[in-house]
Structure 1
Amino acid sequence: MNGHKPQKTTLRPYDDVNQTQFIVYADLDETFYSHQITNEEETSIKAFENYMECLVKRHQVLFGVITGSNLDSVIQKLENGSHQIMPHFIACDLGTMLYWVNKNGEFLPDQAWVDRLMKTNFTQSTVNAIIQNLESLYNIEMTAQTQLGSSSFKKNYYYYMIDDHTDTKNIEMIRDLAHNQELGCNINICNPLAGDPEGAYDVDFIPQNTGKAAIIEFINQKFQVDRENTFAFGDSGNDLEMLSKVEHGYLLDNATIDAKKQHEKITTDPYTKGILNILKEHFPM
């Protein structure tokens, strides 16, 4: 955002889309990227990329990832996995940062999105004040997360479960304090398969009017794509609002039990195979 040399990927990018007609969004961890890549998943990734290349050329499909991970982590996961092609865009840090991948493999920030961020009052000191009040006034203990890396516009914590009554009251208090400071706050049960602890909630503080769902609204409007031509895929509770912003929103077969209880559309297969089969239903070749 400040003129530094852009980060690059060793993966090749998808072809440019001249006139976007469809958009496909996918969560990263345990959706587009499996933390335990099997031989079957490697085959599915290759099949997905081959199919997506055809969709880009024949149907002007734009494809991107929306994730809680930071950009360094996204690049590392996709380059070290079995992926060969980088998506058109990466919305990282829980949908607070948006980058477009150019033909040279460089990640360029979306300036209009940057302008939106700079108008918010999100600061580390504001988040620190919320955490301090939670602990000193309400005896609600929060544990800072470190595995996703630091971000100027996203601060992550864990809240460890106590009992249903206490958790409900405490989560409501966390949301209230964030709202009073005009911050966004996402709270969802952790998914251990994505590297989180069991028996805990993810608590993410972000600027208002940002996040996974806001990214989808922003990109759909940017390219003037009709809702009926939008797809999204996820695996956990923090993807549900994102799925509600598209016409074709699916949880994958490997999604968390809690998330599946709250969403009707679920694929019959996990990971990229689940995504691929849904796309084949809508774009037969």
Structure 2
Amino acid sequence: MDTIHIPVKTQYLILFDFDETYFPHECLPEQLERVYELERYMNKLTFSHQVKTAWITGSSMKQIQLKMKMAGMTQLPHYIASNLGTDLWELCSDGTWTAIPSWQKKIQRSGFSRGDVEDLIAELKHTYNIVLHEQTQFGQSGYKMNYYYYEASSVKTQYDLSVIKHLASCAGIGININQCNPKAGDPEDAYDVDFIPLGTGKKLRFSF
């Protein structure tokens, strides 16, 4: 893995969504050629225009490393906001990663509690008959808890998702809900339901 040039002074910061935007899960030859072309171009911009790059992704650092290896990618970004922006990393000149302290403090002050999420999951099941399935194949990060919601009828699905969002809001828990992408290893006819600290997530990480 190559360590990309780190400009002394940053003129521009370019942020990329990682999965299915920067990294194509199918890894077809024509897709990978475009990835390599993008890598070369971004590396050139770091020298000519003092550009830094960042990836914002729901993946963990370990998953990112595996995907880069699978695709034969060689250029690291300057920042990675992993686990839906609940973890924020900065690239060092020796190719290692360091957590950004100000973001870590923000996360720690959020009051995010695994127990609160588990209580919410139980309430959904016993009071509303809404069952969320833990994403055990990816594990759970310290500040992100991942579940699947399997689609029912269109009306029930929309009702269930609105209940999940409402209860999370009442509990002071951040939430991210997206339709699953089977190309990324997710099941079909399901939604990703991610519980995260308030004030995090891809959009708020971008603002930070």
- 1:23 equivalenced with 2:13 (yes/no): yes
CA-atom RMSD in angstroms: 1.2
* Larger CA deviation: 34-43 vs 49-58: 34-43
> Partner residue of 2:161?
171
Q: Which amino acid aligns with 1:163?
A: S
Alignment of 1:42-191 (within 5 A): 42-191=32-181
User: Deviations 1:43-97 (Å, cap 9, x if unpaired)?
Assistant: 2222111111111111111111111111111112113321111111111001110
**Identity over the aligned pairs, expressed in percent?**
36
TM-score (norm 2): 0.95
Q: Which amino acid aligns with 1:95?
A: G
User: Deviations 1:247-274 (Å, cap 9, x if unpaired)?
Assistant: xxxxxxxxxxxxxxxxxxxxxxxxxxxx
Distance 2:46 2:138 in 1: 31
Distance 2:67 2:139 in 1: 14
The answer to whether the 8 A contact 2:168-2:175 is kept is yes
* Larger CA deviation: 143-152 vs 115-124: 143-152
TM-score (norm 1): 0.70
Residue 200 of structure 1 and its aligned partner are, at CA, apart by: 0.9
User: Match of 1:175, SS?
Assistant: helix
> Partner residue of 2:3?
13
User: Match of 2:59, SS?
Assistant: coil
* Larger CA deviation: 11-20 vs 175-184: 11-20
Q: Which amino acid aligns with 1:82?
A: G
Give the counterpart of 1:32 among 22, 33, 56: 22
Distance 1:202 1:213 in 2: 17
User: Match of 1:84, SS?
Assistant: coil
Give the counterpart of 1:209 among 174, 199, 202: 199
Unaligned runs of 5+ in 2: none
Distance 1:101 1:79, change over 3 A: farther
Equivalent residue pairs, number: 208
Distance 1:181 1:158 in 2: 20
Distance 2:197 2:160 in 1: 21
Q: Which amino acid aligns with 1:146?
A: T
